[in-house]
A and B are shown apart, each in its own frame.
Chain A
Amino acid sequence: MRKLCSLVLMLMLIVFSGCAMSTSQQGKTNPPAPANKDIILATTTSTQDSGLLDVLLPVFESKTGYKIKTIAVGTGQALAMGEKGEADILLVHAPDAEKKVVAAGSAVNRKLVMHNDFILVGPPNDAALIKGKNVTEALTALAKIQASFISRGDDSGTHKMEKSLWKRINITPASPWYKEAGAGMGQTLKIADEKQAYTLSDRATYLAQKKNLSLEVLVEGDAKLLNIYHVMEVNPAKFSKANNAGAKAFIDFLLSAEGQSLISTFGKDKFGQPLFFADGGKTEKDIGL
């Protein structure tokens, strides 16, 4: 009896100390706190998994007093969150799908932030002999010998890019050689590695994962493989609960000289090459589209 009481008391104490702690944590922000300081950033997994956000967000938060809540999901899901007004900023990489969201009035002020590129990776023995080919020839060769190919299959930006590449050569890839993982980029690379299959990856995630993989870069540098990241504000005229002031502040920071230089130097020390190329103020034409 007494034991039961003491247990209940203990659990209660933990709950209350938890409440007390979370309020005290909220109290300590040094810069003048903005009226609504929580910003929800819906973004793709590659910005988080590559570690870029870990570099950008602390600088922005300590400068402005905003708190960013990063929801790292596939681009498809990130855009869907924007369409429902459940986010404030979208940082994604599927230009065609983005344009539809803007046209529907759910997002505004779409701006180019940075790019890197997609690469076709595969097993070192390269049974389909695609090394050095352009992406059109390479995918045709894969389909011809029905080489094992792992697709993201999760409606992410990378998946959308891969589907558009197959469509371009009028091939509908099918099971059993074409497998849909329904997973993030990191996990898809691991599956391709285990199954000695080919897959399409963004360069940032591949470089970050490289230490665990035997897969090699086989096709790169094709203009069709550009991976372009845009940032957008969720339209405050459509969704009154959106934190538009916060969204504007973050986008200004991303496109500022400081934000752009953080992006362009990120990864150089660790991988010997930058993971992203900063494109603030440019248009798609400037980077060759």
Chain B
Amino acid sequence: MDMIGQGVISAYQLLASADSEIFEVALLTLKVSLSATAISVLFGVPFGLWLAFRDFGSKHIFSSLVNFGMGLPPVVVGLVVSLLLWRYGPLGGLGLMYTPAAMVIAQAVIAMPIVAGLTFAAILSITPKFRWQLLSLGATPLQACWLLVKEARLGLMAAVIAGFGRVVSEVGASMMVGGNIKGQTRVLTTATVMEVGKGNYDMAMAISFILLVAAYSIVVLLTYLQHGGKSVR
């Protein structure tokens, strides 16, 4: 128990002493995870909408695949992305291995099924009659789609929050494709693993607290947006 209290104290000391290294690590963590979330939203939301609106025979196969993808193990994603990005891999010419860009790619792949799956579920939770009603009242399919998105806003923001939460807490893929390189690809999760390896449990605890605080501030912001700028009802 002592260790936890000590962790809070050293976390505070680290932040108070303006240790630029820990700020850099925290900043990179947010940059990488927010970029990955943005990319996953860019692809995942349209895919979820497409899945929800289209009626075709093999729809249940797609939706089960998306649901399965929501639990995609980060280490598997990390392994596959490294095999692709290695110097002598198919995409080796890009020189992306062990860079923050590689971490963004891996994290975006991890978050995308979550965003797509929860978008799909959010739209389905609205009665299909609503869409038919909109269409019969003369809305174009695009307008109907937009109104449905607005209606499902809470669920869609939940998808974004879940996607962000997954990637910011992820360590396996970031370690594999980033390499935990000091000053380049070290993020809060991989730094925690390394400090544990070094036996610096108080430092590891301190970094964990900084991770929790950073992640929570982003989620507070997203939750505020989720409720349309009003306080939570």
Interface of A with B (CB < 8 Å)?
A: 1, 3-4, 6-8, 11-12, 14-15, 18, 21-22, 40, 45, 48-49, 51, 54, 57, 67, 69-72, 84-86, 184-187, 189-190, 208-209, 211-212, 239, 241
Query: Could you list 13 examples of A-B contacts with CB < 8 Å?
Result: A1-B150, A8-B41, A14-B31, A14-B34, A22-B100, A40-B98, A45-B197, A70-B181, A86-B86, A86-B87, A186-B198, A209-B198, A212-B201
Instruction: Tell me if B35 counts as interface (CB < 8 A to partner A).
Output: yes
- Which residue of B39, B88, B157 is within 8 Å of A86 (Cβ)? B88
Considering only CB atoms, which chain A residue lies closest to B88 in the complex? Answer: A85
- Which residue of A6, A18, A51 is within 8 Å of B198 (Cβ)? A51
Report whether A14 and B197 are in contact in the complex, using a CB–CB cutoff of 8 Å: no
Report whether B98 and A15 are in contact in the complex, using a CB–CB cutoff of 8 Å: no
In this complex, the interface size class of chain B, counting residues with CB under 8 Å from chain A, is 35 or more
CA distance A1 to B149 in the complex (A): 9
Interface of B with A (CB < 8 Å)?
A: 30-32, 34-35, 37-39, 41, 86-88, 92, 97-98, 100, 149-150, 153, 156-157, 160, 179-182, 184, 194, 196-199, 201, 222, 225, 228-229
The prevalent SS among residues of A at the interface is helix
10 more A-B contacts (CB under 8 A) besides A186-B197, A239-B88? A4-B153, A7-B225, A11-B41, A12-B38, A14-B35, A15-B35, A67-B184, A72-B180, A84-B88, A211-B199
CA distance A57 to B38 in the complex (A): 35
The prevalent SS among residues of B at the interface is helix
Chain A residues with CB under 8 Å of B184's CB are 67, 69
CA distance A236 to B88 in the complex (A): 14
Residue among A12, A49, A212 facing the most chain B CB atoms (10 A cut-off) = A49
Chain B residues with CB under 8 Å of A85's CB are 87-88
CA distance A212 to B197 in the complex (A): 12
CA distance A238 to B97 in the complex (A): 20
In the complex, what's the smallest C-beta–C-beta distance from B153 to chain A, in angstroms? Answer: 7
CA distance A57 to B160 in the complex (A): 39
Considering only CB atoms, which chain A residue lies closest to B227 in the complex? Answer: A3
Chain A residues with CB under 8 Å of B150's CB are 1
Chain B residues with CB under 8 Å of A57's CB are 182
**CB within 8 Å for A70 and B179 given contacts A3-B225, A86-B86:** yes
CA distance A242 to B198 in the complex (A): 30
Residue among A48, A69, A184 facing the most chain B CB atoms (10 A cut-off) = A69
Report whether A48 and B88 are in contact in the complex, using a CB–CB cutoff of 8 Å: no
- Which residue of A4, A11, A21, A45 is within 8 Å of B37 (Cβ)? A11
Report whether B199 and A209 are in contact in the complex, using a CB–CB cutoff of 8 Å: yes
Report whether A84 and B86 are in contact in the complex, using a CB–CB cutoff of 8 Å: yes
Chain B residues with CB under 8 Å of A18's CB are 31-32, 35, 100
Chain B residues with CB under 8 Å of A6's CB are 225
- For the complex of A and B, the 10 pairs showing the least CB-CB separation, nearest first, are A11-B38, A209-B199, A18-B31, A186-B197, A15-B35, A71-B179, A241-B87, A14-B34, A49-B198, A69-B181
